[in-house]
Amino acid sequence: MTQPANNLATAAVAPVADAPSRSFWEVAIGAYKRRIINRIAFCWILFLLLLAVFVPFLANGQPFTIELKRTVNGSETWLREWPLFAQLTALDLILLFVSACAVAYYFIFKRLGREYAEREKRFTARALALVIVIGAAISCSVPTLIWRTTPLNPYDYRTYQQMLQTGDARGAVFTVVHWGYGEQEPLRAQRRFEGPSRDHWLGTDGNGRDALSRLLWSSRVVMGIGFIAISISLAIGVVIGGFMGYFVRKVDLIGMRLVEIFESIPVFILILIFIAFYGRNIIMIMVILGITGWTGIARFVRAEFLKLRKQDYVQAAKAIGLPLHRVLFRHMLPNGLTPVIVVVTFGIAGTVMSESALSFLGVGVEPPTPSWGSMLNEAGNPAEEFRWWLAIAPGLMIFLTVFAYNIIGEGLRDAIDPRLNKIR
Amino acid sequence: MTDNNQPLLRVRGLKTYFNTENGLALAVDGVSFSLFKNQTLALVGESGCGKSVTSMSVMRLLPQPPTIYAGGEIHFDDRDLLHAPEADMQKIRGGEIAMIFQEPMTSLNPVFTIGDQIVEAITLHQQVSMKQAVDIAEEALRRVGISEPRRRLSEYPHQLSGGMKQRVMIAMALACEPQVLIADEPTTALDVTIQAQILELMRGIQESSGMGILLITHDLGVVAENADVVAVMYAGKIVEYADVYELFANPLHPYTRGLLNCVPKLGGESTRLATIAGMVPSPTRYPVGCRFAARCTECQGHIREKEMAAHPELREVKPGHWVATWHAQGYESAPQTEPSLAFRRQRAKAKLTAV
């Protein structure tokens, strides 16, 4: 009597193909990868990210290890020291740990496969990864604040070379680019503005610091400002845009006026005013860029939500009794995010440009933190000579980064919209 | 609920109006019916007569600012659903009263797997662990006749056909074992063979669980096969209410007769298709008198004062047969009772047999 649908019904729905199920994003990324330039752009950004994480091990004035002749209790002994590791900051460690977790997480995820029954394992893996990352961030910050009892090593590469020559040191292993970005080194006015040489592959800047090392260290500033500013914009824009799109009428009216107000704020001038009052502060710049940049995202999210609230699955989600916030953020939002992804990539490109412009004007990051914009500033003004090595390298980096972000944005936009109308 | 003589769902005088730019739209204007256990009540009518709005009003799914629940009661489980707080309604939706929609192609969220969506529905209404929820979901998929249910849980909606998606929607609706299932034109978007399978599936599940089905459709063939009681709606009101055999054998309202006439018959000599002349009046400007009078074949343009005065109410002209028209015999003296039939026809495995 309780036959679950007779044979006729079962036979009619027997599976025909055995293809693995591909989610919305897998299909989109597959379409994205088809063009070679998209892959190149993605590789460039990945390279910059890896650079930002591993730069202390690539361009550092301290050697990995060195044996120094020290006088202990009257007798001379060779002590092996590890200056590079001793002077890693909390930020370096956090970035390393987070990247390691990201890589591990990616591989665990791939191994776990797509089976629905293993959903719990994936959920546990995600939760565990989050706990580990937060725990690592905390546990990395604390010890470095404590163990930094030794004073910062005043030696730079020149001093180490001298010690090696006089025999006070031996067995030194330096990084690829054996200059720091200037934090610990004394200013070497006698070496300013040198062109590229065997010592300094890209020459030196106005303070005698190695240009290539500063170029590599700037990637941190660029990536950091881009992502953090956009994250703030995203958080604000999605919430406001979502509410505007879902609760139309009054909320929409007020929301649009808010958007218009924030859009009319001149961001540059606001930053200059803040700098005039409070001095230069990279965090402040990121926050201001984030707080004034959410309007584009809000507009797109509002448009998507206006379309989505009439979709059948939204009605079905309400019909099974989901509370409002779950309908909004769990069902509607993932469907409405596709134009936002594109806006975000273009937004990061814009933030990179803004930060470079601010640093070029001298009101960006504080010295000695390097930035491509401030390096461009030192390239020369018309009155003096033009120092081409300080103009080409940072300029090229800015150009390539912004170009890469734009390519990614366009590639995603093309991959998401038309292709998915004809799934596979 | 436990007593078979008590209706599961009892709607009395439901009025749902919409505030539009053109005025107040009287989408549902005084609708009453009762749904009993193990019974299928079909709401029939053409587009725009208020069938879907009735079902959405029962679930209180219509957004409140343009919608006004102007009156009536919806009794479910000793509660009046029109005045229940929203938190209670969220528990009832999906848990006690479930709904499946017309368009299966778009009723599932494209970015989540089938398993995600069914498990979400289950965990919302039942206190079960995730593992148990996955097992319940798999069992629900098996019940609706989907093969390899474990594998289907990881698949995305775009990998399923329309019929399978509708089965998944039914599985989602049934996973929490509701007492009432509202099916809003569940098979309109599907082809005829799949339609037959889906309806048979719903019947089978009704046999085993005893739930009541409120079937909304405009297809009289579906009504003949699946319904026990039929309510014909026109312009926001029920104009005829009877059990299915009685309705098909003796349609008393001219509208019902016109609908039965309009069904194209295969195999006869090809003549012109019959229609009901005229158009449905706009919900913002209903005529004062009988709303069907302008199209009524019985009236034929001679609208009497009775029809001009007011829209006729639903009266029980025969035991178990309500109708709202002056043209029915015995209408004037018929009592005005509440339409309610605890009737459950015996469905033979063979074709429809007359009572």
User: What's the gap in Å between the CA of B146 and the closest CA on chain A?
Assistant: 6
Nearest by CB to residue B197, choosing from A1, A8, A115, is A8
Under 8 Å between Cβ of B148 and A15: yes
User: Taking CB atoms and an 8 Å limit, are B145 and A334 in contact across chains?
Assistant: no
**A421 in reach of chain B (CB within 8 A):** no
Element (H, E) at B98: strand B97-100
Q: Using CA coordinates, name the residue in chain A closest to B178.
A: A320
CB B91 within 8 A of CB B139: no
| Res B181 pLDDT > 70 | yes
Question: Per the omega criterion (within 30 degrees of 0), is the bond before A368 cis?
Answer: yes
Record the pTM: 0.73
Tally of CB atoms within 10 A around A16: 7
Residue B241 predicted with pLDDT over 90: yes
pLDDT computed for residue A286 by the predictor: 87
Averaged over successive runs of 10 residues, the pLDDT of chain A (424 residues) comes to: 47 52 76 88 92 87 78 76 76 80 77 65 75 73 56 67 77 78 56 71 77 88 87 92 85 92 92 88 87 92 88 86 84 84 90 89 80 83 72 90 93 74 48
Residue B214 DSSP code: E
Tokens found for residue A215: 């170029």
Residue A376 to residues A360, A372, A392, Cα–Cα distance (Å): 6, 6, 8
Cβ-nearest to B150 among A117, A312, A423:
A117
Query: What is the number of alpha carbons within 13 Å of residue A367 lying toward its C-beta?
Result: 12
Task: Indicate if ipTM > 0.90.
Answer: no
Distances (CA, A) of B261 to A201, A402, B42, B275: 92, 69, 19, 8
Non-local CB neighbours of A165 within 8 Å, separated by 6+ positions: none
In angstroms, the separation between the Cα of residue A346 and the nearest Cα of chain B is: 24
Instruction: Note whether B197 contacts A249, CB cutoff 8 Å.
Output: no
Helix (H, G, I), strand (E, B) or coil at A302: helix
Taking one residue from A and the other from B, the number of pairs with CB-CB distance under 8 angstroms is 130
Put simply, the answer to whether A6 touches B158 (Cβ < 8 Å) is no
> What pLDDT does A113 receive?
64
- Mean pLDDT for the stretch of residues B236-246: 91
Q: What residue segments make up the domains of chain B, in order of their start?
A: 1-89+181-188+216-265+274-354
Asked whether residue B268 carries a pLDDT value surpassing 90, the answer given is no
Strand order in the sheet with B229-234: B97-100, B180-184, B212-217, B40-44, B229-234, B237-243, B321-323, B315-318
Say what the pLDDT of residue B43 is: 94
How much helix, strand and coil, in percent to the nearest 5, is found in chain A? 65, 5, 30
Strands (DSSP E) found in A216-333: none
The minimum CA-CA distance between A123 and chain B, rounded to whole Å, is 11
Question: What is the arithmetic mean of pLDDT over B160-185?
Answer: 89
- Indicate if the pLDDT at residue B335 is higher than 90: no
Tell me, what's the pLDDT at B355? 39
Residue A187's pLDDT is: 54
Q: How confident is the model at residue B192 (pLDDT cuts 50, 70, 90)?
A: confident
Minimum Cα–Cα distance from A4: chain B residue: B143
Average pLDDT of the residues in B165-186:
90
Map out the domains of chain A with their CATH numbers.
Answer: 49-60+208-424 (1.10.3720.10)
Residue B336 pLDDT exceeds 80: yes
B322 bridge partner residues: B241, B316
How many Cβ atoms sit within 10 Å of the Cβ of residue B194? 21
Strand partners, A78: A69
Longest alpha-carbon distance in chain B: 68
Task: Give the pLDDT score at A140.
Answer: 65
Q: What pLDDT does residue A114 have?
A: 61
Tell me what pLDDT residue A3 has.
Answer: 47
Using the Cβ of B148 and the Cβ atoms of chain A, whether some distance falls under 8 Å is answered with yes
Contacting residues of B for A3, CB less than 8 Å apart: 204
Q: How many CB atoms lie within 10 A of CB A292?
A: 20
Question: Out of 3.40.50.2000, 2.60.120.20, 3.40.190.10, 3.40.50.300, which CATH number does the structure's domain B1-89+181-188+216-265+274-354 have?
Answer: 3.40.50.300
CA A310 vs CA A152, A318, B162: distances in Å: 62, 12, 20
**Helix, coil or strand: residue B252:** coil
- Pairwise CA distance, residues B66 & B221, whole Å: 35
Please give the DSSP secondary-structure letter assigned to residue A340: H
Of A5, A119, A313, the CB nearest to B109: A313
Q: Which two tokens stand for residue A196?
A: 């590229």
What is the spatial distance between Cα A335 and Cα A319, in angstroms, rounded to a whole number? Answer: 19
Q: Mutating which of B156, B160, B192 best tests the A interface, going by the most A Cβ atoms within 10 A? A: B156
- When mean pLDDT is compared across A26-35, A130-139, B68-77, B326-335, the lowest value belongs to A130-139
